[in-house]
């Protein structure tokens, strides 16, 4: 079992709540607050690239 240090949950409108964290190996994690056992993890650099892409509108077509 990987230990993850979760930040306080990010809450937007409705029930859309996510949390960000770092595991004991320094990998970045994104998880939903509705299921503590399900999360996505990758390098901090990959998370940074994902956030930059979302901020630039690269995922707007998914909405």
Neighbours of 29 (CB within 10 A): 19
Q: Which residue has the tokens 């650099």?
A: 45
Chain centroid to CA 26: how far? 14
Is the pLDDT confidence value at 52 over 70? yes
Quick one: tokens of 49?
A: 């690239």
- 18 forms beta bridges with 10, 32
Q: For position 29, what pLDDT does the model report?
A: 94
Q: For position 37, what pLDDT does the model report?
A: 86
Is the pLDDT confidence value at 8 over 70? yes
Element at 17 (helix H, strand E): strand 17-23
User: What confidence tens digit (pLDDT) does each residue in 14-49 have?
Assistant: 667 889 999 999 999 999 888 878 999 999 999 999
């Amino acid at each position: 079992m990987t230990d993850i240090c979760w930040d306080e949950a990010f809450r937007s409108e409705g029930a859309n709540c996510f949390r960000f964290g770092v595991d004991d190996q320094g990998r970045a994690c994104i998880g939903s607050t509705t299921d503590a056992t399900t999360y996505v993890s990758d390098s901090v650099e990959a998370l940074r690239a994902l956030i930059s892409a979302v901020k630039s509108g690269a995922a707007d077509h998914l909405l």
